[in-house]
Structure 1
Amino acid sequence: MLERDNVAKGRIAGSLQVDMTYLNSRLDVDKNFDIIYRVIHIGGKEACMYLIDGFCKDDLVQKLLQYFMDLTPDKMPEDMHALSKQFTPYVEVDIEDKWDVLIQSLLSGMFILLLEGYKKALLIDSRTYPSRGVEEPEKDKTLRGSKDGFVETLVSNTALIRRRIRSTDLHMEMMSAGESSRTDIALCYMKKRVSQDFLQEIREKIRNIKADSLTMNQESLAECLYQRKWYNPFPKFKYTERPDAAAAQVLEGNIVILVDNSPSAMILPTTIFDVIEEADDYYFPPVTGTYLRITRFLITLLTYLVTPTFLLLINNDKWIPESFSFIMLKEEPNLPLIWQFLVLELAIDGLKLAAINTPNMLSTPLSVMAALVLGEFSVNSGWFSSEVMLYMAFVAIANYTQSNYELGYALKFLRIITLLLTQWFNVWGYVGGILLSVLSVCCNRTVSRKSYIYPLIPFDWKALKNRLIRRRLPGAVQAGGAETDRRG
């Protein structure tokens, strides 16, 4: 009767039969083929092991079972604590008596051992998840620097950061979210450098997540952490698949969030300058890095301004100087320019989606076909003007000068709005569109509710100079992907 009362309270009863009955009922082992349990004898006592097929290392489990089954009654310890610390030949061993913790650990891949007469269970972390190699990510490539990248396994990702930061100040704090998924989340930070108030705020937000599961991993977590101003398209988080970039941000005092099953890291708080930065800025000498940074910044502005400016000048051709008359349309368009731009904006996204879903063996011939049919023939047929095709081709290609997709689409949305305002209200619409874009950036806030355009607002000339110019200060740490000397 006492054993059943313990089970009702959510704890191990100490009677193997009662515990097995409860656990088998909770796990529905008769229907779940991948949940394996086996009754064995250890030191003259009856015991039962539980594991998830495919999560545990078979060789390790076999050796542990052989060791336990060879224990004789005279060597059997009286309590589970002694069994875990002195008689279990493995490193990652723990004991637990709460059923909720045991079941969650089992479903995470741990090995569970129940023994007759013991009111605690043995937890052995023998997990091994299917994973790919840590090759360089396709999205965050660099010409120099390390060629490893994050994978879908959380422990592997934390090890890649630990390898770069060998300090006792580095903390890897484990949390979980999702009522059903119980997705593992790791907070990576330097204890003496991070803002403790902001860190506590992030902890509380993760603990208070009421979602059933983080279906889309990091995106689901991001939407739970930042729920205000969803209509502002500029990114509130920076994502990276490079361990060197993540380690540099940790050293800078930021928080890096790793989510299990996601091969990238979330960096917060993030400003617009953080989003534009790339690792190549720091893998080259200061002069080259500064040139790359300024070039990327100018091209980002051009991707937003070039098509609305062209539309404004064509609608007001008397403003075009004689020396720039070559930008005028050579032929009268059959389709209004605003419709050409809007259709091509949609067509470019269609080509991107087609490229994502095209098998690799067909990507080259389909690319050639798209260039010929949608490029040359669309101009010859009269649907589009060659000048419009030229500027939209520049915009499509220039978007890839920066790797942040969210920033690219934020500029795209604002570019479309500015095009429409320019068409409807001429120069006032053009100016209004630019003002709207500036306000969208200036009125934005980071996750920590700080200025999104710091060090412009509040103004800090020294920090701004470090943002614009890639400098190397004596004794400064230059590490792959973030400027650790910006604090001055």
Structure 2
Amino acid sequence: MNRPFAEKCRQLDDLLGVGRCFDMVSRELYVGDRRAKLWVVNGYAKDLLLERAVEKLQAIPTLADIPDLDALLRRYVTICDAGTCCDRMQAASDVFAGKTLLVVEGYDGGLLLDAKEYPTRSVQEPDSGKVLRGSHDGFVESIMENAALLRRRIRDPALTLERVRVSRRSQCDVALCYLEGRADRKLLSQLREKLRSAPIRSVAMSQETIAEAIAPRQWYNPFPKTRYTERPDVATASLMEGNILLLIDNTPAVMLLPVSLLRFNEEINDYYFPPLVGTYLRIIRFFVMLLNVIITPLWYLLATDPAGLTPPWDFLLVQGDCAVPLALQLLLVELLVDVLKLASLNTPDALGNSFSMLGALILGDFAVQSRWLVPEVLVYMAFVAVSNFAQHSFEMGYACKLCRMALLLCAITLRWWGFALGLVGVLVLMATAKPIAGRGYLYPLLPFDGKALRSLLLRRPAKKDNT
């Protein structure tokens, strides 16, 4: 009996959890005239591919003329993605990632065979990024399938997908995706260093865990430090502009870097319409975002200062009586809108329409009849709620909401001076926000870059390639 081989198998059984984990499969077999053993996670195994590879190895008459595993790999292993490994911990990590480990008696290390098939859903269009025209596919939770969706669109040798493994416990796969020669090398170096030195023990919340680990510490600043997309066409356009993607295994959300405030004004539908229509949509989106922040504080100041409003602006005044102060009404409806959003997330689809009607009745007719709210509050808060859907970034929508509520509180306490100070405070937050990567949150305004500013504000026609 070969004790070193038996001891090696026992150590790997203990490390991989054979007998302890029901999904860990081990199998003893013969390769040529020697004993061998393989380990694979049952949920990952691609049975037909693995059976063909094992059948080929078992058909070897003898291993006497094969000096090492590298020679065995070259001559008899038919799986394309295969290699040798002598590090036991690395081999265990690869098995948990889906590979099959094969150890053969008399050889150091083992063979790692990539015969896996991840359980995944179809590449259907994401709910948060639907388009009228264009492709209707979306990223999924598998980093390999997401990479394939990008390769399908960019068939260029310059497309580089560089893998970085983060987290000591989760061993999560992260890929830096960029076009060689177009991406900023300094920015790439910064991102590599941040990922490799990120203090991450476990990637529990996928992209959010990594974003919080590599982003500058600014808990008080509500503006998002990165953008996300679940659409391959958006990611492709970003790559072609020289940006960098961060693909993270187990999540369909892809990070788009670098980031700045005006980049949140871009949306994929702009590019599926003619340039003039796309420019119009961007301008509308920009002004809606601006109104979303200032409309309720500004209306509150005007409505509570009747002497300053003369015809034809007197329609801004509150016409009826109410039992609740106007400022409290605005804050109350802000909170109620969030309560409805949270409740809708947990409402089954079959009851979603009924729940929306019930919420509208409670906030609308019943609240006005009971004199809790005045109709004007519902009108302005309805505009705010609808305008949030014009912003495709959920994080930026809540940043605008928090700034609006802060402006409202300033206006309540210090009136017009408070409103002015609140606006200055919002601008300071924007100017001092530190994104994960990039020249600054207000770029291309600070530092000023006229060409980049025009490209963000105006939808320009696609450039012709004259090479």
The TM-score normalised by the length of structure 2 is 0.96
| Equivalent pair of 1:271/1:453 in contact (CA under 8 Å) | yes
**Cα deviation digits, residues 175-215 of structure 1 (max 9, x gap):** 11112111111110112111212211111111112322011
Find 1:342's aligned residue among 317, 331, 347: 331
SS in 2 for 1:391: helix
The answer to whether the aligner puts 1:155 opposite 2:155 as a matched pair is no
Residue 60 of structure 2 is aligned to residue 71 of structure 1: yes
Question: Which position in structure 2 is the counterpart of 1:382?
Answer: 371
The percent identity for this pair of structures is: 38
Following TM superposition, by how much is the alpha carbon of 1:112 offset from its aligned partner in structure 2, in angstroms? 0.8
Which of 248, 252, 255 is residue 266 of structure 1 equivalent to?
A: 255
Alignment partner of 1:334: what SS?
coil
- Residue in 2 that maps onto 1:140: 129
**Alignment partner of 2:455 out of 442, 462, 466:** 466
Matches within 5 A, 1:309-348: 309-348=298-337
Letter in structure 2 aligned against 1:439: V
Structure 1 residue ranges (4+ consecutive) displaced by more than 3 angstroms after TM superposition: none
Q: CA deviation at 1:472?
A: 1.6
Q: CA deviation at 1:138?
A: 0.3
Residue 476 of structure 1: CA displacement? 6.5
Q: 1:295 aligns with which of 280, 284, 290?
A: 284
Is the CA contact 1:43–1:75 (under 8 Å) kept in the aligned structure 2?
no
- The aligned counterpart of 1:481 is none
User: Could you tell me how far apart the structure 1 residues matched to 2:152 and 2:233 are?
Assistant: 10
The answer as to 2:387 corresponding to 1:398 is: yes
**Matched position secondary structure for 1:139:** helix
The amino acid across from 1:97 in the alignment is C
Match of 1:8 in 2: none
Q: Which residue of 2 aligns with 1:257?
A: 246
1:214 equivalent in structure 2:
203
1:138-172: per-residue Cα shift (whole Å, max 9, x none)?
Answer: 01111111111000011000111111111111111
Q: Indicate whether 1:231 and 2:220 are aligned.
A: yes
1:444 offset after TM fit, Å? 2.0
Q: Classify the secondary structure of the residue corresponding to 2:246.
A: strand
For 1:239 and 1:473, the matched residues in 2 are separated by 23
Structure 2 residue 234 is matched with structure 1 residue 245: yes
The structural deviation recorded for 1:120 is: 2.6
Kept after mapping to 1: 8 A contact 2:79/2:115: no
Question: Which residue among 174, 194, 215 is the counterpart of 2:163?
Answer: 174
- In the TM superposition, what is the alpha-carbon distance from 1:118 to its structure 2 partner? 0.7
Per-residue deviation, 1:337? 0.9
Task: Indicate yes or no: 2:447 matched with 1:451.
Answer: no
Change (3 A) 1:472 1:449: closer
- C-alpha displacement at 1:474, in angstroms? 4.3
Moved more, 453-462 or 140-149: 453-462
**Cα distance in 2 between the residues matched to 1:474 and 1:193:** 16
* CA distance in 2 between partners of 1:40 and 1:169 (Å): 44
Match of residue 123 from structure 1? 112
RMSD over aligned Cα atoms: 1.6
Q: Distance in 2 between matches of 1:312 and 1:387?
A: 14
Tell me how far apart the structure 1 counterparts of residues 396 and 362 of structure 2 sit (CA, whole Å): 30
Give distance in 2, aligned partners of 1:38 and 1:449: 51
Distance (whole Å) between structure 1 residues aligned to residue 223 and residue 199 of structure 2: 26
Aligned equivalent of 2:268: 279
Partner SS, residue 441 of structure 2: coil
SS at match of 2:435: coil
Q: Does residue 197 of the first structure (1) align with residue 186 of the second (2)?
A: yes
Within the candidate set 99, 107, 110, 1:110 is matched to 99
Equivalent pairs counted in the alignment come to 465
Structure 2 runs not aligned, ≥5 long: none
Q: Distance in 2 between matches of 1:253 and 1:370?
A: 45
Amino acid at match of 1:40: L
* 1:416-444 CA distance string (max 9 Å, x none): 11101101111101111111111211222
The answer (yes or no) to whether the contact 2:216–2:436 under 8 Å persists in 1 is no
Is it true that 1:93 corresponds to 2:66 in the alignment? no
Opposite residue 182 of structure 1, the aligned amino acid is Q
**Relative to structure 2, which stretch is displaced further, 380-389 or 429-438?**
429-438
Aligned to 2:348: 359
